[in-house]
Amino acid sequence: MKRIVKTTTNTANTVTAIAKYKTAAPFISEKSQQLFKQSLKYLTFICFIGLLILSSCEMKPKIGFLMDSLEIERWNKDKALFEEKVEELGGVCMIAIADSDPDKQLQQAQQMIDEGVDVLVVVPVDLEKAGEIVKMAHQNYVPVISYDRLIKDCNLDYYVSTDNINIGELQANYLTKIAPEGNYVLISGPTSDYNAYLLRLGWMNVLQPLIDKGDVNVVLDEFCNYWLPDESYRILSAYLKDKNHVDAIICGNDALASGAIAALKEHQKDGKVLLAGQDADIQAVRNIVAGNQTITIYKPIESLAFAAANAAIKISDGEAPSNMNITVNNGKRLVPAILLQASVVNSQNIKMTVIQEGYIGEQEIFN
């Protein structure tokens, strides 16, 4: 993946000067020859230093980071942390935001490839359409790491994420321990994001035995179009219009949980229904303190960003990442992966989790 640095014009000029000197040497005085030799040595040294500097700049790996959107709070942290780690490891980070447009993301990928990117790290807008990015990248000998969200049905090179099935299980386990019986509402993310399916699979791993026993009744189970509050607000408001009873709500992320809170408030049910989200957004943690949300899930975003950046730099240097210790089936192949573990944040352990980790400042929550 390393670039070959071309001979500079100054170096070529130095060689030419030496050749001319050798031709004219018999007709130049000894003192002039000595001065000329010293000048040539100095010029050669300067050119050599310049070549080294140019080489070091050219040899820096270019890592492209294609992101879906920055509309959700957590993605701004991923962006900053990933860029910081790439630069710390000696690379150059190129970032493009697709604004949730899969066609725009494909164009951004093409542009980065044209600009000589060594590795693409992709937060896919669409789990299937992003396969075109992988195909295009491979045609240009550029490997691809899928970040946080899995790209499906393609020859993806690597995958770095959290264990999203486990996250779903953490959410459902926590709520069912408080309410082992009752009416449950499930609000998943968009079907264009494979994480939405994985989270729901985790929920059902816990809920299905209780459903089979007749203890839990899933009264509403829907996917949203986007990971945004308006989506869950619309879905839950429509359900609550008929004054239907609900005991617990599991949402795919904190943004969806916030939309659910807004709908619950309109029906005077805020704080009276168990509610789980994920991402440990600042507002979600504040909602936990206020009693309007039961838990969120803290994903180790710093470790996630650093793992992806480290893998990208190694790949750019022709090395295989050493910590890819698991494989994930993306429908086409078994993709080498890193899956990090997440943890529950509740009203009792806020200081021991997100604050202690430095993810959120205490004053941001309690002021």
Average of pLDDT values for 17-37? 51
- Residue/partner pairs of 201-204 with CB below 8 Å, 24 or more apart: 201/165, 201/168, 202/164, 202/165, 202/166, 202/167, 202/168, 202/169, 202/170, 202/171, 202/172, 203/168, 203/169, 203/171, 203/172, 203/250
| pTM of full prediction above 0.85 | no
pLDDT score recorded for residue 238: 93
pLDDT score recorded for residue 35: 55
pLDDT surpassing 70 at residue 223: yes
pLDDT surpassing 50 at residue 347: yes
- pLDDT-based confidence at 32, cuts 50/70/90? low
Helix (H) or strand (E) run with residue 22 in it: helix 9-24
Helix (H) or strand (E) run with residue 192 in it: none
Whole-number Cα distances in Å, 336 to 125, 177, 313: 21, 35, 16
Average of pLDDT values for 197-204? 97
The per-residue pLDDT for range 147-199, each reduced to its tens digit, is: 999 999 999 999 999 999 999 999 999 999 999 999 999 999 999 999 999 99
The per-residue pLDDT for range 227-262, each reduced to its tens digit, is: 999 999 999 999 999 878 999 999 999 999 999 999
Nearest Cα neighbor of 179 from 273, 80, 300, 303 is 273
Query: DSSP E strands: which ranges in 207-325?
Result: 216-223, 248-251, 274-276, 296-298
The per-residue pLDDT for range 89-131, each reduced to its tens digit, is: 999 999 999 999 999 999 999 999 999 999 999 999 999 999 9
Mean residue pLDDT across the chain: 88
> Residue 86: how many CB atoms within 10 A of its CB?
29
DSSP secondary structure code for residue 154 in this structure: S
Three-state DSSP class for residue 236: helix
Nearest Cα neighbor of 311 from 151, 195, 144 is 144
- Residue/partner pairs of 50-56 with CB below 8 Å, 24 or more apart: 50/8, 50/10, 51/5, 51/8, 51/11, 54/5, 54/8, 55/5
pLDDT score recorded for residue 132: 97
pLDDT surpassing 90 at residue 22: no
Q: Tell me the C-alpha distance between 325 and 335, whole Å.
A: 11
pLDDT score recorded for residue 73: 87
pLDDT score recorded for residue 31: 56
Average of pLDDT values for 289-296? 97
Side chain identity, residue 95: I
Average of pLDDT values for 66-83? 94
Q: Tell me the C-alpha distance between 43 and 65, whole Å.
A: 41
pLDDT surpassing 90 at residue 16: no
> Residue 213: how many CB atoms within 10 A of its CB?
10
